[in-house]
Every structure is written in C-alpha cells, then in structure tokens.
C-alpha cells in the first residue's frame, strides 16, 4: 500500500481577525509606557514576528537605509525589514531615555537579556483590553494587519513577500483573501458590459 496515494485532508485555514488602522492607532494612543509603545509600533511598522521584535539589537537599526536587520528569522534565515520614519523617531526618543546597550528591549527582571516573548504577549493584551478592542487578536495580528494594510494601499504582493520574509509566495497570497472587496477598486465585468451597451446607444 502506497501511503503517498492517500489524499491528504486539507486543513482549513480560518481568517484571522485584523486590526483596522483606527484600532492600531487606538492601541498606540492608550499606551502610556515609552518602551511598550516602541515595541508595539515596531511590531506593526515592520511586520515583525513576536520572537523577532523581542530579540532585536541596537545594532540592527540601520537609519541610513531605513531598515531593520532581522537575524536568524523563521527557517534560520536573515532578512531586512522595513523601518518607517515614525518608528525611527520613537526609537530615537526611547534610546535617549533608556540608553540600551546590546539588546534594544531589555527584560525588566534584571537578567541582562532581552525581553521575553511572554512579556511582549502580556503587554500587548493589556493594551488591547485598555483600547477596548473586542477582537480575537494575538501579537501576530499586528503582522497580519501590516501585510493587509500594505495590500490595501496598493503595495505589490511580491514586495510584501520580501518584507515578511516568506519563502513561498503562497504564504503571502493568503493576505489577498483578507482584503475587503471595496478596497480593491475593481468593477465587475457585468458593469463594464453595461457601460459598453450604453455607449453603443
């Protein structure tokens, strides 16, 4: 019996909850801690994974090329992520206040190492509740929202693939399913036929 011939049951992938741009802003606005705000803004502004933002080093910030160096990302690959001007501005304010040496976001337990994934999760959920966002969201929802909002603004799916560090374009194309119909600015071919018919009259 050839096990390879048995059809595999395709796991249904549910659409995750996505933040609206207004909800992302509300999350930032309710944040009353500079370090926490920097973490949230970096997660969204660069589309980072939880482990990636936690392990950022000060030396990973390249303000000349406006990019973040992400070392040993998923699949043990290094990549560069987007560094927005707003992100850079708040990181500079944060650096002047905290003067971090090696790790960008240190643990507050005086361990001398970077913030833990659990600590990032805890602060994220604290501000989601504070902002009264009633959605089933996780830290990874910031990355989903980053990709979806870029697509909505017209950014190429191939550029987004590179920014997210996806090895397979099909992973990035998943975000196409999350786009709202009205944001596509596409007309049905039926309407186009109707317009042609009217033009002929």
Q: Where are the alpha helices (DSSP H) in 5-153?
A: 21-29, 34-46, 50-54, 85-98, 117-130, 140-152
**Active site amino acids:** 49, 74, 140, 143, 166, 175
Kindly give the confidence (pLDDT) of every residue in the chain, 201 residues in length, as a single tens digit, with 9 standing for 90 and above: 455 555 554 555 566 788 999 999 999 999 999 999 999 999 999 999 999 999 999 999 999 999 999 987 676 678 889 899 999 999 999 999 999 999 999 998 877 899 999 999 999 999 999 999 999 999 999 988 888 888 887 777 777 777 776 666 666 666 666 665 455 565 667 766 766 666 665
CB neighbours (10 Å) of residue 190?
A: 8
Residue with tokens 């000349």: 64
What are the structural domains, with CATH classification, of the chain?
Answer: 16-200 (1.10.443.10)
| Length of the chain, in residues | 201
């Amino acid at each position: 019996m050839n096990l390879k011939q048995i059809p595999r049951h395709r796991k249904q992938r549910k659409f995750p909850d996505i933040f609206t741009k207004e909800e992302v802003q509300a999350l930032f606005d309710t944040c009353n801690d500079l370090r926490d705000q920097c973490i949230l803004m970096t997660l969204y502004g660069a589309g980072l994974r939880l482990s990636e933002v936690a392990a950022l080093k000060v030396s990973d910030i390249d303000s000349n090329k406006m990019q973040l160096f992400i070392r040993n990302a998923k699949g043990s690959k290094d990549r560069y992520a987007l560094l927005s001007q707003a992100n850079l501005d708040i990181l500079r304010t944060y650096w002047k206040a905290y003067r971090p040496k090696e790790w960008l976001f240190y643990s507050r337990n005086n361990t001398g190492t970077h913030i833990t994934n659990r600590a990032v999760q805890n602060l994220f959920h604290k501000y989601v509740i504070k902002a009264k966002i009633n959605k089933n969201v996780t830290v990874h929802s910031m990355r989903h929202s980053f990709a979806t909002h870029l697509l909505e603004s017209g950014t190429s799916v191939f550029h987004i693939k590179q920014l997210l560090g996806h090895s397979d374009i099909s992973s990035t194309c998943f975000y196409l399913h999350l786009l709202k119909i009205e944001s596509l600015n596409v007309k049905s071919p039926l309407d186009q036929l109707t317009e042609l018919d009217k033009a002929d009259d």
